[in-house]
Each structure stands twice: as structure tokens, then as C-alpha cells.
Amino acid sequence: MAQMSRFGKLPQLLILLLLHLSVFASAGTIAGRNGAKNSRQAACTNPIIRKEWRTLTQEEQLDYLSAVKCFLEKPGLTPASVAPGAVSRYEDLVVTHIQQTMDIHFVGHFLPWHRWFTAVYEKGLREECGYKGAQPYWDWTLDVNPPSNWAKSPVFDPVYGFGGNGAFVESNGPNDVPGRTGGGCVADGPFKDMVIRLGPMDDLSGNPRCLHRDLSPYFAGRYLGMNQTILTISQPDFGQFTRVNDGGPSFDDSGLHGGGHYSVGGTFGEMGDLYASPSDPIFYMHHTNLDRVWWSWQSRDLQNRLTDISGPQMLMDYENLQAGNVTLDFKMSVGLNAEDVTVRDTMDIRGGYLCYDYDSLY
């Protein structure tokens, strides 16, 4: 996460935690809207297909980026009494992530919650901004070697991507991300003039600033390569799978999740802020690929892994000293953005409640 000069003086434990860092189901991502009953929908007979960013045509890439900008401009639903800084539909989701940060990370429902969160975002782009495609993913394993390729990824293209790095900001803080190369405002691309209002951390009051990125090719090479991906997918059960994906409480013990955040956000970028990381649209590209990693793991033994769930209900409570493990009936919320669901509802991406698939798996 960003060094203390950005976030202020924090308790050591918190620093360590931060470092861990209407379409029917047959034709769309999810069925239902605010207030709808949480019930299994019609069978998924025509799932939308999520594709890797570089396989989209330039027209498809521009259509997606246009839909994101539309979502950024649409008036939000969050009351000012809850989050004075939130003004757009895009920020409605950022608010939800900020409010639940300490409840949705390093827990058993981390992957189910983020699968639902990303599907709700995808649904918003499709139903509210006219996007016809599915949420793309970013297969970062294609960009990590050699390190010089990282900043050249098509995802960072200034025209057909999300723009690139920020200018280098000098820093020698004790919590700096290893190998960081930027830290300033994103200098090009469709989000060059994007105004970030929420964060840093859990600040919802409104703090207008530019979008920052602080790319770390070193961190990407260490934690986003095919070796780390294979290590994650090779785990025998969900409990071990999600622990390897999450990683541990230091940069030296990261996993795929932290690897994506810190290799883009570094020390000063929004992607490196555990709370407000969805402020950078690349967040959804990264988490869609994490979902693809999970579905790749599930698909190796669907009969058993569609119901394999475990892990603590509370942050890093791996010994269950505060609460029990997550079950299929554990309830999850994304606030006013969609109806509440259970973990069970999110286990099968083609199960009816969700209705999408991937063009390829690991």
C-alpha cells in the first residue's frame, strides 16, 4: 500500500493488513435488480463470453471503454448522507467496496463476493450504458516476461487500452512497493482526466484528485507469472487454493491477488489502496482474471468443486477464534447495487443465477 505520508500515521496492525494486500439469466450475467427476490433464475442456455483484452477487436475495446466512461458519468444512487464524495454509478460500487473492505478480504468468501461484485459491474455496463459485450479479463501472465514488456501491455495502450503509468515520484518509504516506477497522475489514455473522489483508504467525504498508477514490473514478474498461477490452481481444496491466491501479510508472501494490485498501483496508485482500489477501472480486468483462475480450478473437478467452500468469516481468522468458516449459505451484499445473494448463488458461473463463461481457461 502507499507509504504513510499519503495515508497518515496508522496503527502497525492496520499497516500490515493493508500490505496484504432487464436481462434474463439465459442472455446476460445476472438476473434481478434492487429489491428482487434472491431466487434461482431460468437455466443458463446462452452465456455471454468473457474474452482476454488483446483478443477483442479495436472497435470492441473502444465500445467497452466508452461504456466505462458512461458509467463514470451516470448519476449515482448513494445518498450524500452515506458518502458525500460519491456522485456516479461507478462510485456507487467503489463505496460498497470501501465500506466492506475489512469484511471481504482474507476471508473464505473473498472470491465469491468479488465474483458477484464484478458481475454486478458487468450488468451495469450492459443494462445502463448499452454495452453489448461481456466483461473482458487481463491475462497478466502474457505480459510479465521480460520485465520490459509490463508497461507495453495492450491493457496500458493510450488509445485501445486504459492508459499507462504516472510520472516517477521519488520515495524511500519503509512500505514502498518493490520495483515501483511511477506514482504520478496517469499521463495518457481515456482516463487521463478521470477525477477520483473516494479514498484514500476509507474516506468517503470527497477528495478530488487524478488517477495515479505506479507500475512495478518486478512485482508483476514475481507474483503474476505462469509459475504462480499454476501453483495456485494446483491446490487440492478450496481452503488451500484461496490461501495461496490471497498470499500472506507481507510483500515477500504475496499471491495473485496482491500481485495484480501492487504491480499496477505500486505505492501511490489507487490499485494499491486496499479500500479504494476499484477507483481504477483496471481493477475489474484484474479481478475478472482472478475469477477465471478460480473457474479454471473449479473446472478441473466440477462435480466436487461447485460446492467446495471454506475459510474464515472474519478477516484472517484462520483458526476460527472469532467466528466459524464460511458455508454455501453465507449471505453476501453489494449494498444498493443489487440484491443480496448467498455464496451458493455464485459457485457456478453457468448455474442460472450467473450466466457467463470464458473463452479459455488455464
Query: What pLDDT digit, counting tens, does each position of 306-351 carry?
Result: 999 999 999 999 999 999 999 999 999 999 999 999 999 999 999 9
Q: Which domain holds residue 264?
A: 4-24+49-317
The CATH number linked to 96 is 1.10.1280.10
Assign 248 to helix, strand or coil.
coil
Residue 31 in domain:
no
pLDDT reported for residue 249:
76
Instruction: Identify any residues that bridge with 209 across adjacent strands, giving them in sequence order.
Output: 196
Residue 347 maps to a domain = no
What's the domain count of the chain? 1
239 within some domain: yes
Please provide the distance, in angstroms rounded to a whole number, between the alpha carbons at the two ends of the chain: 29
Give the CA diameter of the chain: 55
pLDDT above 80: residue 26: no
Residue 97 lies inside a defined structural domain of this protein: yes
Question: Tens digits of per-residue pLDDT, 327-336?
Answer: 999 999 999 9
**345 in any annotated domain:** no
| Domain-embedded: residue 235 | yes
Q: Rounded to whole angstroms, what are the CA distances from 82 to 107, 117, 202, 203, 283?
A: 25, 19, 12, 11, 23
* 32 is a domain residue: no
pLDDT of res. 250: 85
Is residue 89 one of the residues assigned to a domain? yes
Residue 174: exposed, middle, or buried by beta-carbon count in 10 A (0-12, 13-18, 19+)? exposed
